[in-house]
Structure 1
Amino acid sequence: MSHTDVSGLTQLGSNVDAPASPETAILERVPSGNAGTDFVVRFTAPEFTSLCPMTGQPDFAHIVIDYIPSDWLVESKSLKLFLHSFRNHGAFHEDCSIYVARRIVDLLHPKWLRIGAYWYPRGGIPIDVFWQTGPTPEGVWIPEQGVAPYRGRG
């Protein structure tokens, strides 16, 4: 079993402040020790928050990110800090969701990525946002995201 090269990381193992905004958040990556093997990595953020850009009121989402790595893996502490940086960020649901996905794609250049952002109701209507980089690859088990259609999300 090989050890992951963490020599270039600046946040893991360090006490760092939360980023002021998604734009200033630093996403970091580590080499995949399983390059050449297709497998799915899933991150679930059931308590994602941002702010409505019009009212400043908090918005809540359950976000599921699935990706098939190429040469890189996202470092999870940097991803957590990045997602946390939206707490004081005003943007529409669609913009937050796609921005998260594109930042990860730009960092990792994965073989495939999808995001399911299941937003809780605003004005009585839940807004769910789905995006993926291309067709679902064959031969890889990609489980359902497991988030209930809105009925209290429970």
Structure 2
Amino acid sequence: MTDSIYSELKQLGAATTLPESPERAELERVRNPQADTAYNVRFTAPEFTSLCPMTGQPDFAHLVIDYVPGAWLVESKSLKLYLGSFRNHGAFHEDCTVRIGRRLADFLEPQWLRIGGYWYPRGGMPIDVFWQSGPMPASVWIPDQGVPPYRGRG
């Protein structure tokens, strides 16, 4: 792996621990070998966890991240560790969702990125948060995120 696009990666294939906070989490990226082609990449995190900043109680979400890469791809283990670092982080749903989207967009400089945060009810009310970096590219197939609205027992 020394002379490849993967040679700069530090976390993949190495023993790693969950970062203490989102700020300390290190995202990693690799050159996109298909940078001349517009395509969508989707990551789904159905068990995302953060903490309520007021009560310290856990909050749970189903996150769906879509992006059309430019020159860079996010390395998935580093993304998993970054998302896991929110487990002990106190912030409202809106802040967590938008923070993740903006950090990925700033880091990867994709052609386009969106994140859907489908949060489970807090106080009896689900909160869904959506952010995207700009208009959806017309030339790329980007399926619906496929997460139905929360229905409870109804």
* TM score, norm. by length of structure 1: 0.95
Write the distance in 2 (CA, Å) between the matches of 1:152 and 1:73.
36
Partner of 2:133: 133
Number of the residue aligned with 1:58: 58
Unmatched segments (≥5 aa) in structure 2: none
Structure 2 counterparts to residues 19-98 of structure 1, below 5 A: 19-98=19-98
Q: Is the 8 A contact 1:4 1:30 kept in 2?
A: no
CA–CA distance in structure 2, aligned partners of residues 126 and 136 of structure 1: 26
For the 8 Å contact 1:4–1:32, the answer to whether it is kept is no
Identity %: 70
Alignment of 1:116-131 (within 5 A): 116-131=116-131
- Residues of 2 paired with 1:62 and 1:4: CA distance? 34
Number of residue pairs matched?
151
**Aligned partners of 1:106, 1:149: CA distance in 2, in Å?**
29
Q: Distance in 1 between matches of 2:7 and 2:59?
A: 36
Q: Is the 8 A contact 1:38 1:68 kept in 2?
A: yes
What letter corresponds to residue 91 of structure 2 in structure 1? A
Instruction: Give the Cα–Cα distance (whole angstroms) in 2 for the partners of residues 152 and 89 of structure 1.
Output: 26
Please identify runs of 4+ aligned residues in structure 1 that moved more than 4 A. Answer: none
Task: Give distance in 1, aligned partners of 2:27 and 2:4.
Answer: 17
- The alignment's TM-score, normalised by the length of structure 2, stands at 0.95
1:152 to partner: Cα distance: 3.6
Aligned to 2:11, the other structure's residue is in SS state: coil
